[in-house]
Structure 1
């Protein structure tokens, strides 16, 4: 699905604050990751090792071994998913959305990477496929696969409305990671998959309905051993967004499942020249 561009060819385009030359860890090897993305079960390039459905308004966590592919799909139509990612061996290392959007952009596209927090600072995953890649920038400045915002949570809901509702993405993620020995405090800022967001002319965050159709997907390549946690957002496709228990009830009709598939690469040649990223050699002086 393509969206009309709002770019003004006559306006000045500021340079990105973070730039990198070829060979930098910021620049993914497009040939390598394209070959991985083009592997399929039918051509023998990948083998399905795990597959499940996340029911509407629920969450789940699962492991993704290093060198594997994780595909997240909207099987029945538009549905936002809130994603957390941890190092499965040391969950103190986890997704850092603020640095990821600084190093790449505010919304994910193919070959962008999601980076871990300090002092680890390395790519956790690389985006290798995205069926919504052509969405671009819509007429109000919205883009898809959001790194600007964060999860809905019962604390903000209670503060703004006085109402209690325990199936926000924050709550779903906290329940999902608990069997892996993690706590609510381990839930961190996330990627809002399939969600369209942006900043209006006053710099205020806005949300638009998800453009995803049945079967749309995004694929991640695991750069290290990972624990993923995903919530099927209780706001559904965001077409009826609001706060309070009554709003949560109204949004229920907009909620759909998410599907997760994990694949193991079958052809070792696909990873020829690839190595799992290491943390920077810098050591704190404190």
Structure 2
């Protein structure tokens, strides 16, 4: 499924399990990303509509926020250190991830998967491709609903999401942008509770 322009206010639109969508948002619009079933990670990217070389950057955002995970009121920055998305609402426990790269074919090979496996890197490319666009790289995504606890001595863990069915985050566009969301197909580690599912979004 692909959306190239905003739908009517509040219409709930499906992000099919294991797939990605790309949506154009004008500055000031908001998008609600809904964890429909409660255990689905949504890898999220944002690009300047006028220049795909400018994209939301987790490393630049962390340097500005001085925290690992954004909370309500925090603004995410681009690789040019400009505001691109602001988190304006979060009905989840606030557990998201800014550290982990999008899954790709190499990751699944490392995990012992033989042959093709759906992945967020391909989902990003496919979603942009349906708009006739291409990014030169895969930026590190904002992994909404992803639970990566940081333990003693900096050890990380892949754990199931703690969000509940129907909980959501709302993001405001701080420039004219393209947002890409991938309902992560990871079913080898626990990040999606081992069962990837649909997610939804709505625009206002």
- Is 1:241 the counterpart of 2:182 in the alignment? no
Question: What's the TM-score, normalizing by structure 1?
Answer: 0.63
Unpaired runs of 5+ in structure 1? 1-46, 137-143, 243-247, 264-286
Distance (Å, rounded) in 1 between the aligned partners of 2:26 and 2:121: 24
- Quote how far apart the aligned CAs of 1:150 are: 1.8
Of 182, 206, 227, the residue aligned with 2:157 is: 206
Matches within 5 A, 1:269-284: none
- 1:107–1:148 contact (8 Å) kept in structure 2: no
Alignment-derived partner of residue 228 in structure 1: 179
Distance (Å, rounded) in 2 between the aligned partners of 1:256 and 1:183: 26
- The aligned length equals 195
Larger Rg: 1
- 2:44–2:143 contact (8 Å) kept in structure 1: yes
Alignment-derived partner of residue 268 in structure 1: none
- 2:53–2:136 contact (8 Å) kept in structure 1: no
1:145 is paired with a residue whose SS is: coil
Alignment-derived partner of residue 81 in structure 1: 42
Alignment-derived partner of residue 11 in structure 1: none
Alignment-derived partner of residue 145 in structure 2: 194
- Is 1:108 the counterpart of 2:92 in the alignment? no
Distance (Å, rounded) in 1 between the aligned partners of 2:108 and 2:73: 35
Q: Greater RCO between the two (CA within 8 Å, min separation 6)?
A: 2
Unpaired runs of 5+ in structure 2? 1-7
Of 182, 190, 196, the residue aligned with 1:255 is: 196
- Quote how far apart the aligned CAs of 1:99 are: 1.3
Of 58, 73, 86, the residue aligned with 1:97 is: 58
Aligned-residue Cα RMSD (Å) equals 2.2
Alignment-derived partner of residue 124 in structure 1: 84
Distance (Å, rounded) in 1 between the aligned partners of 2:10 and 2:41: 24
Question: What's the TM-score, normalizing by structure 2?
Answer: 0.86
Q: Which has the higher helix share?
A: 1
1:175 is paired with a residue whose SS is: helix
Alignment-derived partner of residue 121 in structure 2: 170
- 1:157–1:164 contact (8 Å) kept in structure 2: no
- Quote how far apart the aligned CAs of 1:160 are: 4.8
- Quote how far apart the aligned CAs of 1:121 are: 1.6
- 1:148–1:198 contact (8 Å) kept in structure 2: no
Distance (Å, rounded) in 2 between the aligned partners of 1:198 and 1:155: 23
2:50 is paired with a residue whose SS is: coil
* CA distances 1:5-29 after superposition (whole Å, capped 9, x unpaired): xxxxxxxxxxxxxxxxxxxxxxxxx
